[in-house]
Amino acid sequence: MGKIAFVFPGQGAQAVGMGKDIYDALPQSRAVFEQGNKALGFDLSQLVFEGPDSELKQTVNTQPALLTTSVAYLAALSDRNIKPDFVAGHSLGEYSALVAAGVLSYEDAVRLVRLRGRFMEEAVPGGQGAMAAVLGAERGALAELCRSISEEGSIVELANVNCPGQIVVSGSQTGVAAVVERVKEAGGKRAIPLEVSGPFHSSMMKAAADRLSAELARVTFNAPAVPVVVNVTAQPVSNPEEIRELLVQQVYSPVLWQDSVEWLIAAGVDTFVEIGSGSVLAGLIRKIDKSVKVVGINSLESVQAEL
């Protein structure tokens, strides 16, 4: 029998109306949204279900919205008796994975990601940071290009290693623009600037990480019920204190998603269950290894279907 990994999406997967079908149909999922409203002190569910999209896209709202939707879908699976062998999440999705593994309570996690979103937005003044998705470049060559541009005085770094041929870079406006312009030097086909509110997962986020560290110190971290494969190292971590420290580093370190998926497959995972809005991770996982099974739990219909 192959092993199962539950994986959780991050920013970019949001959509107005996500989770509304399970909210309407399933009391355990509705309870998650209601808990979120209470923990945050405002009607998060109304923003998720009705928008406007421009408000849902603000990092400070996107992060608690996606976490809540993922946890609500996870709750929808609670009576299905499907247990993961591992959990992992992409950037923000790591918090959903930690809730799934029992490391963080949902209430603590939703408050933390609301603050994380705020700190990330406030870390760099608007218009100074940027991100771009680079297609077709080789990782080593792209890292080298980023290093030489940074040495010229414009910070740019690898931010998300998503799958072969798709790497996101992050840093200063000028640094990212230089990568977009010089992408062919790294063997890349093209680079697409992303609509984001800051240079996430770059060293420019250190101030946000410091502020988040103080908040993480106030929260209880439990030992995980199942191993959590984390973004920073692409390795499983079971020590709660180490998880806490890695969440601080995660804010300014690259998300090693491809490496994490490859580690899971090597550990015997042949079924990935993506829990939450959209199907971004399913697409990435298929590009990493076509032979594994990927199931999306992102609608009432998918909750009720056989895995």
Give the residue numbers marked as catalytic: 91, 201
Which of 187, 175, 177, 180 has its CA nearest to residue 141? 187
Q: How far is Cα 269 from Cα 264, in angstroms, rounded to an integer? A: 6
What letter would DSSP give residue 203?
G
Cβ-Cβ contacts under 8 Å for 160 (sequence gap 6 or more) = 90, 91, 167, 168, 201, 254, 255, 257
Q: Is 28 helix (H, G, I), strand (E, B) or coil?
A: helix
Backbone angles phi, psi at 246, to 5 degrees: -70, -30
Which H helix or E strand runs over 212? helix 206-216
Structural contact between residues 192 and 135, judged by C-beta atoms closer than 8 angstroms: yes
Token output for 254:
């690259």
Separation of alpha carbons 252 and 170, rounded Å: 10
Q: Which residues lie below 8 Å from residue 98, measured CB to CB, with a gap of 6+?
A: 87, 89, 104, 109, 224, 228, 243
